[in-house]
Amino acid sequence: MNRAYNDNREYTDAMDGLRFSDEAKARMVQNLLDAASESAPQQEKPHGRKSRLPRVAAVGVAAALVLGIGAGASGVFKSAGEAFSGVFGPTADTEIIDQIGRPVGASDTDNGVTITADAIIGDKYHYAITYSIVKEDGTPFDIDLSKTVGDGVLPMNFAEEDTSLSGYLGGTHGGSYFYDADPNDPSIQYVETREVSDGDVHGRTVKAKFSDLFVYDEDMNRTVIAEGDWSFKFNLDFEDTSINLPTGQTIDLNGMTATIDEITLSPLALRVDYTVDSEVQWDENAQSGKQSEHDSAQMEKYFDDLQIVVNKADGTSLDMSYAGGSIKPQDGKTICQKGDMFSEVIPLEDVVSLTVGGVEIPVQQ
Amino acid sequence: MIQLDRAEAERLVNTYSDLILRLSYTYLKNTQDAEDICQTVFLKLLTSGQVFDNPAHEKAWIIRATANACKDTMRSAFRRRTVALEVVAETPAPTAPENDVLEAVMALPENYREAVYLYYYEGYSVREIASLLGRSESAVNAHLSRGRQKLRMTLGGNEYEQSV
């Protein structure tokens, strides 16, 4: 009964219908001609250097402390002779220290640049891998570290990257970003976060492959700062870093009572399991391929309207209310699970509480 | 002074103004600022001195510049709140069609909306979208995947257990 989104005709037809009138286009042409005849060359705005470390970069430093990466912390700076090059080479072992997986010797060097897998952190359904990128000669990359794209994330990317799990047939999805954990050392950090849909990924082999590191400007023009191909393998080993928070709280949810059954919080993700004291009623007469207004309202009532906020020690908060999950009627009640990955690794000591449905739940370390 | 003749101005407007409108709508959820964003993007193009290898290269530049212009608009703390009535009468913004699927897409988070638009409407591949937006392919895949998940829930039929 689910509508297959591959049938995107309605979306494309709707977008086709969104267009300027001929009148508007004629006006734009004239405005453009008028502006062209009057305008002077555009002045570049000076880029001010920020006076303090952007928030996520600060988090990145804290995350680096949690993960123990950065200069001197994990012996990152190996000589070129110790690095693997060319094909993936043998699979590097991963030690687990304080729940963090630390690949041993998982790196490759090409054209004077070494990429190393430094640390792996994860919980039951998610993991993040941090890599460091450094020039062999120890000099910093020629980039302006003050030019971030927001939240301390550097405007960088690989022309190609692939970090597949050998033999894993389940689904994964996630994101990645670059940041500078320590402006005083010449390395740049690259973080990948992944959510796994099913099955255990512990012990599987990560085959990491990267090509050509570039930075991009505000016009998205690329400049390659490290040309090369890097390939290496390592074991994906880590311990579950999630903590369970106090549960049993009751919440008023649109006149119903919801009880929090379980809250799983890790530096990577949050998940809230709760039970509502009435059973969601789906529209049995709903037409195929489209959620009825009734069902949409039921979804809002039992799921969408549950607000979930992560409150951090720096006074900021992260609204997770739009997160996904599942909802299931069962024996007169409705079993719900709602949660999502964070867009960045958040050390748990930076989280002071969660607010779920208006109820504040402290995070005790 | 920018060198521009009517033929070139018409080419730019006829080729790209609807694209800029749709992309602006995707980011801003309204069409009010679309004409201004068109003006901004076209002027930026004309003053950039950019030379394009081919039409696809030019279109990619337009998309990136539009995305940046929309994000600047969203960041601005001084968005115009009131307009003179005569201005409203002369320049009515295009009306977004009423459509359940479009409404569902527009309810998605911004990153998902932009990926859905570029993938399903403009027909770009994941790799091309990653290059356009300066993201990793895995990030684009995640945005498309999660966007599809949420749309399946919003647009799908009944299930004993529904996933969002």
Chain A partners of B137 at a C-beta cutoff of 8 Å? 161
Residues 130-159 of B with CB under 8 A from A: 130, 132-139, 141-142, 145-146, 148-159
Is A220 part of the contact surface with chain B (CB cutoff 8 Å)? yes
Chain A partners of B134 at a C-beta cutoff of 8 Å? 149, 155, 157, 216, 220
* Closest by Cβ to A289, choosing from B133, B142, B157: B157
SS (H, E, C) chain A: CCCCCCCCHHHHHHHHCCCCCHHHHHHHHHHHHHHHHHCCCCCCCCCCCCCCCCHHHHHHHHHHHHHCCCCCCCCCCCCHHHCECCCCCCEECEEEECCEEEECCCEEEECCEEEEEEEEEECCCEEEEEEEEEECCCCCCCCCCCCCCCCCCCCEEEEEEEEEECCCCCCEEEEEEEECCCCCCCCEEEEEEEEECCCCCCCCEEEEEEEEEEEECCCCCEEEEEEEEEEEEEECCCCECCEECCCCCEEEECCEEEEEEEEEECCCEEEEEEEECCCCCCCCCCCCCCCCHHHHHHHHHHHHCCCEEEEECCCCEEECCCCEEEEEEECCEEEEEEEEECCCCCCHHHEEEEEECCEEEECCC
- pLDDT at position A42: 39
Chain A partners of B99 at a C-beta cutoff of 8 Å? 10-11, 13-14
Chain B partners of A224 at a C-beta cutoff of 8 Å? none
Average pLDDT over residues A203-211: 90
Per-residue pLDDT of A117-174, as tens digits, reads 999 998 888 888 999 999 999 999 988 877 766 566 788 888 888 888 877 766 666 7
CB contact under 8 A, A29 and B136: no
- Banded pLDDT at A292 (limits 50, 70, 90): low
* Closest by Cβ to B152, choosing from A5, A39, A163: A5
Q: Provide the whole-model pTM.
A: 0.54
Is A3 part of the contact surface with chain B (CB cutoff 8 Å)? yes
Instruction: State which residue of chain B sits closest to A19, comparing Cα positions.
Output: B18
Angle at A244 between CA A237 and CA A151, to 5 degrees: 70
- Banded pLDDT at A80 (limits 50, 70, 90): very low
Is B18 part of the contact surface with chain A (CB cutoff 8 Å)? yes
ipTM: 0.84
